[in-house]
């Protein structure tokens, strides 16, 4: 197995990102990337020697200070001042798993040779990545418009020996770590600070991280929904492909097909039913889960484009002898996609909680709250409250960030995406979905025991058996907080083949 991933212009996918992270591959620049970075830097150095006019961000101030020209002897100080002054993050720390993706995506974006950075700057970022040196980055501070300025400033501080990093789980000054590794701080050249701070890597990294989880939990929502259907003694007819071929949304068709496969040879689904129809939370699973699948597919396409892009400003085009100031750092494509993804994930949680509610309602020969001797035992009464509370929070979190904008930088930056807020909200929605589905699994696996001696399909019985090794059947009341936490851990521990995530 190749243990090194070479950064190049080859198309980068979410699946490749997951492979690099999960297999703990190290990074290196391809020869193509080295040539592109050095060629662009040489061009910029030569341009600065021969060009006396102001070029935004290279020999000018930033934002609304763009009309102030900076002398050549102050260009390093200009770039270092930029990084220091923009490190204004606050709030919670960004999880280290996401910081690692931020490093990877920043390296990838700079490698195309349109940003004007020094080769040693990119190589130092690679050394941080390969040695698990993770800068301390904060969740709050980015408007998602001039790039993720504040978060990327914190990501970049250690390059110049400033800020703090995590190494081996310990937080310490970056300067101390550089000394220990025998590295000198990078002396930033013209344009470099701006290249590091402009970009969408905060939003992109959150989006990639959530998408990888979303694909997994979209599949698990189907599996858990199928167990609930069995526990509720539901009908198979709503999953007949003929229904879905006359309304052929891809996600809807795939969901119905998956349920047919999950329930194949189930004795429970095959038994005669006393009821003509199921409630919508069961009957409309293909339509609801399928719509979320289609949303995930759309958002994947947006982020695939983004992580294969150059998102700083200005952009340097060596072949055309042009340095062009534009707006590739604006996060609007990501903000809209993250909001859409958050809504889709919230809906998976919403319909899950409704299935949980149906299961505890004392219907279809199930005891109230899924426990023997109800009254003395409250059983699964309160986990549904918990799920309902989380679902309600997700509704609040799913309010779009991208519809908001606040003017900044003296009116120069008069429209912003708020994509960073969309990103952090989306992760919270994703984490909430994990909890909601864990609670549904607790209820569904309990309900199915009341269908014995009939069995479900071989796959679902195996899944339930694995779950029971972590969370035993509830015979009488106990502290269910621990069961919820174990259920969440069980779902997160599952490793799924890439084929089932298609």
Cis amide prior to 64 (ω within 30 degrees): no
DSSP 3-state assignment of 324? strand
Nearest to 192 by CA among 305, 40, 329: 40
Residue 91 main-chain phi, psi, to 5 deg: 85, -155
> Taking the CA of residue 206 as centre, how many other CA atoms within 13 Å lie in the half-sphere pointing to its CB?
32
Kindly list the distances between the CA atom of residue 13 and the CA atoms of 18, 74, 212, 280, 500, in Å, as whole numbers in the listed order. Answer: 9, 40, 11, 36, 17
DSSP 3-state assignment of 452? coil
CA 421, CA 401: separation in Å to the nearest integer? 6
> Among this protein's residues, is 280 annotated catalytic?
no
**Contact indicator for 356, 437 with CB cutoff of 8 Å:** no
| Residue 28, beta-bridge partner list | 6
Nearest to 487 by CA among 436, 451, 429, 427: 436
Kindly list the distances between the CA atom of residue 402 and the CA atoms of 257, 389, 416, in Å, as whole numbers in the listed order. Answer: 35, 25, 9
CA 284, CA 281: separation in Å to the nearest integer? 6
CA 137, CA 290: separation in Å to the nearest integer? 36
Catalytic residue among 56, 138, 166, 357: 56
Kindly list the distances between the CA atom of residue 312 and the CA atoms of 50, 112, 229, 417, in Å, as whole numbers in the listed order. Answer: 24, 11, 49, 16
What DSSP line would sit under 414-442, residue for residue? -----HHHHHHHHHHHHHHHHHHHHHHHH
Residues annotated as part of the active site: 56
């Amino acid at each position: 197995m190749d243990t090194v991933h070479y950064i190049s212009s080859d198309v980068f996918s979410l699946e490749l990102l997951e492979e690099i992270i999960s297999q703990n591959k190290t990074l290196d620049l391809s020869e193509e990337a080295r040539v592109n970075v050095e060629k662009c830097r040489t061009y910029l150095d030569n341009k600065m020697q021969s060009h006396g006019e102001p070029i935004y961000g290279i020999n000018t101030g930033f934002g609304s200070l763009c009309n102030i020209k900076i002398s050549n002897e102050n260009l390093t100080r200009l770039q270092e001042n930029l990084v220091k002054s923009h490190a204004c993050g606050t709030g919670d720390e960004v999880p280290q798993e996401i910081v690692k993706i931020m490093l990877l995506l920043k390296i990838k974006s700079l490698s195309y040779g349109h940003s004007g950075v020094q080769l040693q700057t990119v190589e130092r970022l690679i050394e941080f990545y390969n040695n698990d040196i993770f800068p301390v980055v904060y969740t709050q501070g980015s408007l998602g418009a001039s790039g993720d300025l504040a978060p990327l400033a914190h990501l970049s501080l250690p390059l110049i020996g400033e800020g703090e990093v995590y190494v081996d789980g310990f937080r310490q000054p970056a300067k101390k770590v550089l000394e220990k590794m025998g590295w000198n701080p990078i002396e930033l050249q013209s344009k470099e600070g701006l290249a590091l701070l402009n970009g969408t890597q905060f939003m992109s990294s959150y989006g990639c991280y959530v998408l990888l989880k979303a694909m997994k939990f979209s599949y698990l929502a189907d599996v858990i929904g199928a167990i609930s259907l069995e526990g509720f003694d539901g009908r198979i007819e709503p999953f007949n492909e003929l229904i879905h071929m006359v309304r052929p949304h891809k996600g809807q068709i795939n969901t119905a097909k998956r349920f047919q496969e999950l329930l194949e040879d189930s004795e429970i689904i095959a038994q005669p039913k006393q009821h003509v129809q199921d409630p919508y939370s069961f009957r409309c699973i293909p339509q609801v889960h399928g719509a979320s699948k289609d949303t995930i597919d759309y958002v994947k396409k947006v982020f695939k484009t983004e992580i294969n892009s150059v998102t700083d400003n200005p952009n340097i085009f060596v072949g055309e002898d042009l340095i062009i100031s534009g707006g590739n750092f604006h996060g609007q494509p990501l903000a809209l996609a993250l909001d859409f993804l958050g809504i889709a994930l919230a809906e998976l949680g919403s319909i899950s909680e409704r299935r949980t509610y149906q299961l505890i309602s004392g219907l279809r020969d199930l005891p109230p709250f899924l426990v023997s001797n109800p009254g003395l035992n409250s059983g699964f009464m309160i986990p549904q409250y918990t799920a309902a509370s989380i679902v309600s929070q997700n509704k609040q979190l799913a309010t779009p960030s991208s519809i908001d904008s606040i003017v900044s930088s003296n009116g120069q930056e008069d429209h912003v995406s708020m994509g960073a807020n969309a990103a952090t909200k989306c992760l919270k929605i994703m984490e909430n979905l994990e909890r909601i589905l864990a609670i549904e699994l607790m209820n569904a696996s309990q309900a199915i025991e009341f269908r014995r001696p009939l069995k479900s399909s071989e796959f679902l019985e195996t899944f339930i058996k694995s779950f029971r090794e972590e969370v035993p059947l509830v015979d009488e009341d106990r502290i269910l907080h621990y069961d919820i936490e174990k259920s969440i851990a069980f779902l997160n521990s599952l490793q799924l083949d890439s084929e089932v995530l298609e």
